[in-house]
Amino acid sequence: MAPLRFSANLSWLFPELPGLPERLRAAGRAGFEAAEVAWPYAEPPEALVQAARAAGLRLVLINTPPGDQEKGEMGLGAVPGRQAAFREGLEKAVLYAKTLGCPRIHLMAGRVPQGADGAAVRGEMETVFLENLRHAAGVLAQENLVGLLEPINTRVTDPCYFLDTPQQAAAILQKVGRPNLQLQMDIFHWQIMDGNLTGNIQEFLPIVGHVQVAQVPGRGEPGSPGELYFPYLFQLLEDQGYQGFVGCEYRPQGDTVEGLSWLRSYWDKRGHPSAGQ
Task: Give the bridge partners for 8, in sequence order.
Answer: 35, 248
CA 167 to chain CA centroid, nearest Å: 17
Q: How far is CA 161 from CA 78, 157, 166, 189, in A?
A: 10, 9, 13, 12
Sequence-separated (6 or more) residues with CB below 8 Å from residue 254: none
Nearest Cα neighbor of 212 from 79, 33, 61 is: 61
**Active-site residue flag, 36:** no
Sequential DSSP letters for 240-275: TT--SEEEE----SS-TTGGGHHHHHHHHHH--PPP
Q: How far is CA 276 from CA 33, 34, 112, in A?
A: 9, 9, 38
Report d(CA 228, CA 234) in Å as an integer. Answer: 11
Which is nearest to 140 in space by CA: 165, 176, 171, 116?
176
Q: Is 249 a catalytic residue?
A: yes
Task: Exactly one of 36, 126, 221, 249 is catalytic; name it.
Answer: 249
Under a CB-based contact definition with an 8 Å cutoff, are residues 251 and 219 in contact?
A: yes
**Cα separation of the two ends of the chain:** 17
How far does Cα 185 stand from its chain's mean position?
A: 8
Contact 191, 217 (CB under 8 A): no
Identify the active-site residue in 33, 36, 150, 221. Answer: 150
Which residue numbers are catalytic? 150, 249
